[in-house]
Chain A
Amino acid sequence: MTAAPLASEFDTRTNATYEALMWALSRPGLIRTLPLAGLAQIIDTLIDRECAVYCEDAALTAQAMQTGAVLAPPEQADHLFLTALEHADFLTRLPQGSDLHPEAGATLVCTARLGRGPRLRLTGPGCEGAVEVRIDGLPDGIWQTRAQVLRYPLGFELFLVDANRVLGLPRSTKVEVL
């Protein structure tokens, strides 16, 4: 039997990033730790030539292109990376998938402030009863817009990143502003 292959720095980092994302989405509202700060590592972890990506930031755009992914407008992107989400209306542009293929709904990764700001109550799969969180740095009315546009099981996923911390909100989570 040959020795086990060694995990490279890339393997280790992307595996840890994915583990954080997976648990963030499995337990909405529970904040997980990423190995590094920022959005770049999430591109390394998820994006490939099969993806259609929307980025506004130049460095992230360059990184996304290097994976072989195509750049697409928000309406056609499966993964979107924003260092700042300016308008709640942006959510109305995200693909939500179709009845036959709900998985074609988008994943939006954006920067936010976790642990301060408006109080939210989360319920749904992954929430033990109700989970309360505070999220800041997002445009006004975002939660109302999200609730209006989501048509479960169609919808999109949100990952909110604050330095090296991440919080996940799958489409199945109901968000109430307290």
Chain B
Amino acid sequence: MAYVATRGGARAIEQSQRLFRAEMGTITPERVAEVRRALPYLVDRVMGEASLYDADLAALALAQTGGELHEAVLLLRAWRTTQPRLTVADPVLQQDLFTHRRISAAFKDIPGGQILGPTLDYSHRILMTEVLSGAAQTPDPVDAAAISAPAQHPSVAAWQAENGLLSAAEPDTRCGNDIPDITREPLLFPAQRAHRLQSLARADTGGVLALGYAAQRGYGQAHPTVNELRLAEAEVIVQHPRGTRFSAGRVKVSQAEVVAKTGSDLRLGFAATLGWNEVKVIAAATLDLNAKGAPKGSATEEEFFLYHTEGVEASGFCIHFKLPHYVTFQSSLDAMRDAKARDQAKNQARAAETAQATREAEPTP
């Protein structure tokens, strides 16, 4: 039975996975803990794109995939699918965030003050090669400020709205179960604002950066000014079935407000995500800012950027081209060959006609 001999698919896929995993060796709880401790920004990025806040699981996903980011996010999203929804937390208000870093490019100083917080922005990007020669680098201790900054701050946009500079978005008062949820409902266009912001929060960092950057370079109508960039921790308040409200813990969040002048008003673009990821929220807020009135099919149109920054979908589709496509290819070949044959037949008929005409036109000797 000739066909049976070719049946190696199940075995082949098993062995190919072993080959991939062999390179990474044994995955231990210690390795996962080390990933979590050593790579907090990577863990944050993966948690944000997965829309699942659990640093241990994110570190496990990174360890399990050897740092293949799209695979790690997919693992977490697939795990998230299996989890029951117990409750919906209270809305997190900007002014309640426990703020670590808060800067504004729009004003020299802002109510509550600029708080530089943890950043590499002003570091010199010099590789610490001495570590490779055995000199461990231990960070210098932080000197605490004489007067600590307040933990909570109003948003800059709130001040602008108070001063009549900003037309703020209609507040969406829906709460609890009524909040639209992109993981349980299809994304339709024009997208509900909640769906747009949720999609951006889950978007691929690289994808959002590429399209946000395109908008910033001039493929968008509005040039952003960073009104406020904030890294913070948010208290997650949930209600116990008996009625008590309690904090289930804190999650790291990033948010960006960007503004642009439109006529006599400022227009606001906003984005937030789980984990600390500054580039993502600035780029995403730029896209949000530019979406209104963007031409159909442009990079700043909502449908365009939401579809194309969905990292799990984009990466999955991209790698699916590795799958066999020989049936579709065969189908196209068939149409192509037939068209070619027709073309040739037509050309031959034309050549014969011309030859005939030439013969007729020639004077007989």
Binding site for B on A (CB under 8 A): 49-50, 68, 101
Contacts and interface: CB of A to CB of B under 8 A. Distances in A.
Nearest to A48: B184
B163 interface: no
Secondary structure dominating the interface of B:
loop
Pairs of residues from A and B, 4 with the lowest C-beta to C-beta distance, nearest first? A49-B177, A68-B177, A50-B184, A50-B185
Contacts of A101: 188
Interface string B294-313: 00000000000000000000
Nearest to B180: A50
A68 B86 CA distance: 12
Interface in B165-188: 177, 184-185, 188
B119 to A, nearest CB: 41
Nearest to B177: A49
Contacts of B188: 101
Contacts of A68: 177
A49 B185 CA distance: 11
5 contacts: A49-B177, A50-B184, A50-B185, A68-B177, A101-B188
Nearest to B85: A49
Interface in B187-208: 188
Contacts of B184: 50
A74 B165 CA distance: 45
B192 to A, nearest CB: 14
A162 B184 CA distance: 33
Nearest to A101: B188
Contacts of A49: 177
Nearest to B178: A70
A149 to B, nearest CB: 26
A122 B185 CA distance: 34
A50 B177 CA distance: 9
Nearest to B181: A50
Interface string B142-183: 000000000000000000000000000000000001000000
A112 B209 CA distance: 58
A49 B184 CA distance: 10
A50 B178 CA distance: 9
A101 B185 CA distance: 14
A62 B184 CA distance: 23
A68 B184 CA distance: 14
B152 to A, nearest CB: 33
B187 to A, nearest CB: 13
A59 to B, nearest CB: 23
A58 B73 CA distance: 45
A112 B177 CA distance: 34
Nearest to A69: B177
B266 to A, nearest CB: 34
A103 B102 CA distance: 46
A101 B184 CA distance: 18
Nearest to B184: A50
A15 B185 CA distance: 22
A68 B85 CA distance: 12
Interface in B266-291: none
A154 B188 CA distance: 19
Contacts of B185: 50
B81 to A, nearest CB: 14
A101 B186 CA distance: 12
A101 B188 CA distance: 10
A101 B177 CA distance: 23
A158 B5 CA distance: 51
A69 to B, nearest CB: 10
A77 B184 CA distance: 19
B79 to A, nearest CB: 15
A49 B188 CA distance: 19
Nearest to B185: A50
B227 to A, nearest CB: 35
Contacts of A50: 184-185
A68 B188 CA distance: 23
Interface centre among A49, A68, A101 (most CB of B within 10 A): A49
A155 B184 CA distance: 24
A49 B177 CA distance: 8
